[in-house]
Amino acid sequence: MTPNTVIVDSATSPAGLDFADSFNVAVPFIDRHVAEGRGDKPAIVTDDGMTSYAALLDGVNRTGNALAGLGLKQGDRVILAVKDAPEFLFAFWGAIKAGFVPVPVNTLLRAKDYAFIVEDSGAACVVWSPEFAGEMEPALAGLAPGPAHRLPTAASKDDDGVTLASLMAEASGELEVAPATAEADAFWLYTSGSTGTPKGAVHAHRDMVVTSQHYGVETLGITPDDVHFSAAKLFFAYGLGNAMTFPLWTGGTAVLFAGRPTPDIMFDHIERFRPTIYYAVPTLFAAQLQALEAAAPDLSSLRMCVSAGEPLPGNIFERWKAKTGLEILDGIGTTEILHIFISNRPGAAKPGTSGQLVPGYEARIVDDDGGDVADREIGNLLIRGGSVTSRYWNQPERTAAAFEDDWIRTGDSYFRDAEGFYTCCGRSDDMLKVGGIWVSPVEIEARLVAHDAVLEAAVVGRADADELIKPEAHVILKDGHGPSDALAEELKAFCQDGLARYKYPRWVNFVGDLPKTATGKIQRFKLRG
């Protein structure tokens, strides 16, 4: 096998992928496209124009040379607080091709969060879009000595100093591929830190191949003709696959949008750029359904919609399909596993479930003692597969707690039915025990969202007067519906009618918003107490 190649063949390895002994993942995702005749094809489209595959390769090579020209050493980390735009791909792939380790970070963070990640990672270089200077520059100013190299991607109005763009302009458009192996460290992603300090999940060169082939190609059936549009941003593991690795793996096209995703903007971009696959999160699909009550956007280009981040209520699946004719394929993925490993399939989706195992992955559902549970029994979900992080950076205790041999604990409670469909019951620490029986907050939330007045809901446990735990609901109402005691009682009765009676919420609180991570996951721990 020639260097930097990967063979996709289920006979070659248990996961169906066989990597060359010398393998840098930038080659199959970036370099090969021009050689295969796609140089003029759009790789990226944005409000500002089109970037061809040839221009992408040139930008990657120039960025890799620019970073190398700073004196970075092999394996040095490069923090990327970069908006969804071509320069994100230039910096990410340029770093990997040159032998450095890109670390994309959430662009919604505050200075103290950036300071923690920069210091924790030991980064040698930090790159940021000028839009994020207000948080990044104070973060760096407070570090001593901090990273040696600090580069905005472009000059701001008040600064005409050295930038990544100015270094790229002077760099060569040819870049030699740094040696690597499929198992070597390629990039990091920091977890959202929804229940603690962020953790750096270290990913290997092979990981993006595994997710792109097994989920993108074999599960979704993506092709070179697909145009991908993701509401989730590139710094998320979910968005990184949707809008970067999936289109680049197949030679497709990515639509990038740097702003805040709102229903109107998402509909506008679907009409303008005509994507074939649209990726979002349940809360956005719910908001778009509400917008569709008064709007009729042209969604005819779409052949598929995908959801992740939180379980998709079956009611939203049914309403979206009735309104648009499209299924929403729900799935579960994590930062540690890089992308979706359980998913519904086109034409074979089961509403209210996360779907079935993606090829290349194995799952176990175990009790608190580590024993496998029977079908339809709730337990803790463990996963094994080729894209799992090797470790948390510099956190051996948290790494040891997450892994059991080569299985990783997802932290999610699930059950599996006889057909092999997996249903999420919430985070393991979100489960409620009511009257001695385990209750899933997700099940109650899905019932509440099925009510015509409810847009979103979150359920947590609360002690009653006898110090017994009962469900408490926090509800966002749709436009045109106001909070009232009568509506609260109506929602309780609605849950009693559709669920086992002990599962209904004893309290209903009407709220304007719900605490969430940047990926859209509800932070139920902030609602407790």
DSSP string covering 47-88? TTEEEEHHHHHHHHHHHHHHHHHTTPPTT-EEEEE--SSHHH
**Which residues does 272 contact at the CB level (< 8 Å), separation at least 6?**
none
CA–CA distance, 48 with 489 (Å, rounded to integer): 51
- Residue 371 phi, psi (nearest 5): -90, 145
For residues 128 and 200, give the distance between their C-alpha atoms in angstroms, rounded to a whole number: 19
Does the domain at 431-526 match CATH 3.30.300.30? Answer given as yes
Task: Tell me the residue type at 39.
Answer: G
Q: Report pLDDT for 10.
A: 57
CA distance 91 to 30: 12
Q: In the CATH scheme, what is the homologous superfamily, with its name and number, of domain 26-42+51-179?
A: ANL, N-terminal domain (3.40.50.12780)
Q: What are phi and psi of 343, to 5 degrees?
A: -155, 150
Tell me the sheet residues that pair with 340. 333
Query: Which H/E stretch holds residue 78?
Result: strand 77-81
What is the reported pLDDT for 432?
86
For residue 50, the model assigns a pLDDT of 98
Three-state secondary structure call for residue 225: coil
| Token pair recorded at residue 72 | 């970075």
Residue 249 near residue 29 (C-beta atoms within 8 A): yes
Is 516 in a helix, a strand, or coil? strand
- Asked whether the bond before 104 is cis by omega within 30 degrees of 0, the reply is no
Tokens of 504: 């209904």
Residues 329, 305 contacting (CB under 8 angstroms): yes
Whether the bond into 145 is cis, omega within 30 of 0: yes
What tokens does 63 get?
């960025």
Residue count of the chain, please give it: 529
The topology under which CATH files domain 207-427 is Rossmann fold (3.40.50)
- Tokens matching residue 523: 């932070």
Predicted pLDDT at 192: 65
231: left (phi over 0), alpha (psi -120 to 50) or beta: alpha
pLDDT, residue 227, reads 98
Distance (Å, whole) CA 6 – CA 237? 22
- Give the amino acid at 200: G
With a CB cutoff of 8 Å and minimum separation 6, the contacts of 186 are 25, 96, 101, 180, 203, 204, 205, 207, 208
Which residues face 19 on adjacent strands? Answer: 6
Name the maximum alpha-carbon separation found in the chain.
72
Q: Which residues contact 6 (CB under 8 A, 6 or more apart)?
A: 17, 18, 19, 20, 23, 28, 182, 206, 209
Phi then psi dihedrals of residue 453, to 5 deg? -90, -10
Whether 471 contacts 459, CB under 8 Å: yes
pLDDT of residue 36: 97
Predicted confidence pLDDT, tens digits, the chain (529 residues) = 889 999 987 555 556 899 999 999 999 999 999 999 999 999 999 999 999 999 999 999 999 999 999 999 999 999 999 999 999 999 999 999 999 999 999 998 889 889 999 999 999 999 999 999 999 999 999 998 899 999 999 987 666 689 999 999 999 999 999 999 999 999 999 986 544 578 999 999 999 999 999 999 999 999 999 999 999 999 999 999 999 999 999 999 999 999 999 999 999 999 999 999 999 998 899 899 999 999 999 999 999 999 998 889 899 999 999 999 999 999 999 999 999 999 999 999 999 999 999 999 999 999 989 999 999 999 999 999 999 999 999 999 999 999 999 999 999 999 999 999 999 988 888 888 787 677 889 999 999 999 999 999 999 999 888 777 899 999 999 999 999 999 999 999 999 999 988 899 999 999 999 998 777 778 888 898 6
Rg, C-alpha atoms of the chain: 23
Q: Is 412 helix (H, G, I), strand (E, B) or coil?
A: strand
DSSP 215: I
CA angle 157, 163, 167 (to 5 degrees): 140
Q: What is the predicted pLDDT for the residue at 158?
A: 61
Looking at the chain, the domain(s) classified CATH 3.40.50.12780 span 26-42+51-179, 207-427
**Does the reported pTM lie above 0.85?**
yes
CATH 3.30.300.30 domain span(s) along the chain: 431-526
Q: What order do you get walking across the sheet with 77-81 strand by strand? A: 101-104, 77-81, 125-128, 149-152
CB distance 153 to 164 below 8 Å: yes
**Dist CA 105 CA 92 (whole Å):** 12
Measured CA to CA, the distance from residue 459 to residue 467 in angstroms comes to 18
